[in-house]
A and B are shown apart, each in its own frame.
Chain A
Amino acid sequence: MLLHADTLSVARGPRTVLSDVSFTAKAGEALLVVGPNGAGKTTLIRTIAGFIAPAAGSITLKGDDGDRDITEQCHYVGHLTGVKANLSAAENLAFWATYLDGGDGSAIRDRVDEALLHFGLSALADYPAGLMSAGQKRRLGLARLSVATRPVWLLDEPTVSLDAASTELLSGLIRRHLAGGGLVIAATHLPLGLEDPAYLRLGRTAGHAAPEAKP
Chain B
Amino acid sequence: MQSLTQRLANPTRFMELSRTVLPWVAAGAALFIATAMYLVFFVAPPDYQQGETVKIMYIHVPSAWLAMMGYSIVAISSFGLLVFRHPLADVSAKAAAPIGAAFTLAALITGSLWGKPMWGTYWVWDARLTSMLILFFLYLGLIALRSSLEDESLAGKLTAVLALVGVAILPVIKFSVDWWNTLHQPSTGFTSTVDPSMRTPLLIAAVGFTLLFVALHLKAMQTEIVRRRVKTMRLAQVERDERLFSAGAE
Interaction A to B: yes
Residue contact B239 to A13, C-beta cutoff 8 Å: no
Asked if B151 and A13 make an inter-chain contact with CB atoms under 8 angstroms apart, the answer reads: yes
Q: A172-215 CB contact bits vs B (8 Å, 1 = yes)?
A: 00000000000000000000000000000000100000000000
- Chain A's interface size range is under 10
The count of residues in chain B whose C-beta lies closer than 8 Å to any C-beta of chain A is: 10
Q: In angstroms, how far is the closest chain B Cβ from the Cβ of A59? A: 19
The answer for the CA separation of A13 and B150 in the assembled complex, in Å, is 10
Task: Assess the A204–B243 pair: CB atoms within 8 A.
Answer: yes
Docked complex Cα distance between A102 and B93 (Å): 43
Could you tell me if B152 and A15 are in contact, using CB atoms closer than 8 angstroms? no
Within the assembled complex, what's the spacing in Å between the Cα atoms of A155 and B152?
A: 28
- For B231, what are the chain A residues with a Cβ–Cβ distance below 8 Å? 14
Q: B228: shortest Cβ distance to chain A, in Å? A: 8
Interface of A is mostly: loop
Contacts of B232 in A (CB 8 A): 14
Residues of A contacting B154 in the complex (Cβ-Cβ under 8 angstroms): 13
Tell me whether B243 and A13 are in contact (CB under 8 A): no
Chain B residues with Cβ below 8 Å from A14 are 152-153, 231-232, 235
Flag if B235 contacts A204 (CB, 8 Å): no
Task: Decide if B153 touches A13 in the complex (CB within 8 Å).
Answer: yes
Which of A1-52 touch B at CB < 8 Å?
13-15
A15 touches B153 (CB 8 A): no
Measured CA separation A13–B231 after assembly (Å): 12
Whether B246 sits at the interface, judged by CB under 8 Å, is: yes
Tell whether, in the assembled complex, residue B246 and residue A15 are in contact, meaning their CB atoms are under 8 Å apart: no
With contact pairs A14-B231, A15-B235, A15-B239 given, residues A204 and B153 touching in the complex (Cβ less than 8 Å)? no
Q: How far is the CB of A95 from chain B (nearest CB, A)?
A: 29
| B152 and A13 contacting across the interface, CB-CB below 8 Å | yes
Distance in Å: Cβ of B117 to nearest Cβ of chain A: 52
Contact B152–A204 (Cβ < 8 Å) = no
CA distance A13 to B238 in the complex (A): 15
Query: In the assembled complex, which residues on chain A have CB atoms less than 8 Å from the CB atom of B153?
Result: 13-14
Tell me the B residues contacting A by CB distance below 8 Å: 151-154, 231-232, 235, 239, 243, 246
Interface residues of A (CB under 8 A from B): 13-15, 204
Known contacts A13-B151, A14-B153, then 10 further A-B pairs from the complex at CB < 8 Å, ordered by chain A residue? A13-B152, A13-B153, A13-B154, A14-B152, A14-B232, A14-B235, A15-B235, A15-B239, A204-B243, A204-B246
Closest 10 CB pairs of A and B: A13-B151, A13-B153, A14-B235, A204-B243, A14-B232, A15-B235, A13-B152, A14-B231, A204-B246, A15-B239
